[in-house]
């Protein structure tokens, strides 16, 4: 079971690095003064889920869940 723990640890490190990079790649959520006048409600603002930013958010959520699951599994002293 020691090899299984080593493999999980390597996957955990890869997920940590990928999660850090994805969070740093995302744009800030503050729209500045444009949000006051409603400029933020453009085509790109409404279709954010289909853009690159939307994909980054989805992948970040998946990696965050994977991070928590791997952290919980590695914290168990079964192996």
- Summarised one tens digit per residue, pLDDT across range 24-54 is 998 776 655 555 555 555 555 556 556 888 8
For 49, half-sphere exposure in the C-beta direction (CA atoms, 13 angstrom radius) is 1
> Within 10 A of 1 (CB to CB), how many other CB atoms are there?
7
CB-CB contact of 67 with 15 (8 Å): yes
- Give the closest residue to 60 by CA, choosing from 15, 30, 29: 15
- The Cβ of residue 15 has, within 10 Å, a number of other Cβ atoms equal to 19
Query: What global pTM score does this model have?
Result: 0.71
d(Cα 70, Cα 5) in Å, to the nearest integer? 10
Q: In which band, very low, low, confident or very high, does the pLDDT at 8 lie, cut at 50, 70 and 90?
A: very high
- Give yes or no for residue 69 having a pLDDT over 60: yes
Domain extents in the chain: 1-23+48-79
């Amino acid at each position: 079971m020691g090899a299984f723990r080593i493999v999980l640890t390597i996957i955990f490190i890869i997920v940590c690095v990928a999660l850090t990079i994805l969070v740093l790649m995302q744009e800030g959520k503050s729209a500045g003064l444009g949000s006051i006048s409603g400029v933020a409600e453009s085509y790109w603002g409404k279709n954010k889920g289909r853009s690159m930013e939307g994909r980054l958010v989805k992948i970040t959520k998946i990696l965050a869940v994977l991070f928590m699951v791997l952290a919980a599994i590695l914290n168990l002293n079964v192996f």
